[in-house]
């Protein structure tokens, strides 16, 4: 499989290290790709996604989109059945598992109005978007699963949080990778579930999985679809 890579940052570097000789070209946001490939991975920036998607459609190249902070409106209609696309605000397979767990945590919280949810994410100080794309994905999953939550918000300073709102906090500091913490507050107890990325190894692994899975498919998929066959049996086989 021949892979093209958009981007020259930390994530793109980790993907390049993982995929090795499978990457036949790597270009920055400004440089046009030299040749069509089987699958391209967009790991540059949200501002470049639109032009790189247009290139992929023009050259019939499947595209894994790992960049965040871009407008997905009309993406499904734009791609249709022309190429395959994976939208992955986070390429870690373990974060995909966390997304699945958020559905369970939100459902559990929704069974009792005295239970409350919160989400805290932390990234390096140079990250531009806040909350992160991963935090937004997890927050949407929690809200959809919880019967008494309707929307996620970054708490406004001028008023208290409303009962139907899920509180999401974003921290920007240091130069490390990332952390996402989901909590349930309940009378007399607290449940915390946290994912910490020590480096970008897992994201590069996920990029390879997504590229292999996507090639030959058409339509737009979330990254969770890539590893669904791995995760689903865990929930079925481990029932008491």
Residue in the block written with tokens 């991963």: 134
Q: Annotated catalytic, 180?
A: no
Q: Annotated catalytic, 59?
A: no
Q: Which of 59, 124, 127, 149 is catalytic?
A: 127
Rounded Cα–Cα distance for residues 63 and 78 (Å): 13
Backbone angles phi, psi at 145, to 5 degrees: -90, -20
Q: What's the alpha-carbon Rg for the chain, to the nearest Å?
A: 19
Tokens at 83, concatenated? 């190429």
Q: Which of 52, 59, 123, 149 is catalytic?
A: 123
Contact predicate 102/109, CB 8 Å: no
Tokens at 124, concatenated? 């390096």
State the chain's maximal CA–CA distance in angstroms: 61
Nearest Cα neighbor of 84 from 185, 210, 236 is: 210
Tokens at 194, concatenated? 């946290």
Q: Cis omega (within 30 of 0) on the bond before 131?
A: yes
Question: In the Cβ-directed half-sphere of 187, how many Cα atoms lie within 13 Å?
Answer: 3
DSSP codes joined into one string, 89-131 = S---HHHHHHHHHHHHHHHHHHT-TT-EEEEEEEE-TT--SSS
Catalytic residues: 123, 127
């Amino acid at each position: 499989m021949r892979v093209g890579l958009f981007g020259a940052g930390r994530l793109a570097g980790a993907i390049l290290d993982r995929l090795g000789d499978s990457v036949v070209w790597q270009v920055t946001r400004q440089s046009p790709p030299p040749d069509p490939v089987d699958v391209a991975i967009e790991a540059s920036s949200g501002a470049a996604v639109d032009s790189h998607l247009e290139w992929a459609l023009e050259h019939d190249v499947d595209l894994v989109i790992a960049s965040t902070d871009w407008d997905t409106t009309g993406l499904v209609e734009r791609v249709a059945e022309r190429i395959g696309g994976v939208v992955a605000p986070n390429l870690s397979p373990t974060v995909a598992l966390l997304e699945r767990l958020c559905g369970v945590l939100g459902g559990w919280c929704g069974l009792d109005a005295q239970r409350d949810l919160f989400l805290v994410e932390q990234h390096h100080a140079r990250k531009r978007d806040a909350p992160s794309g991963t935090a937004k994905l997890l927050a949407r999953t929690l809200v959809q699963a919880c019967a008494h939550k309707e929307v996620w918000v970054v708490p406004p300073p001028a008023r208290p949080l409303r009962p139907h709102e899920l509180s999401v906090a974003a921290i920007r500091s240091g130069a490390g990778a990332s952390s996402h913490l989901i909590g349930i507050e309940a009378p007399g107890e607290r449940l915390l579930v946290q994912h910490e990325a020590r480096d970008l190894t897992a994201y590069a692994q996920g990029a390879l999985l997504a590229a292999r899975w996507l090639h030959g498919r058409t339509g737009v998929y979330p990254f969770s679809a890539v590893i669904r066959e791995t995760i689903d049996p865990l929930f079925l086989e481990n029932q008491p």
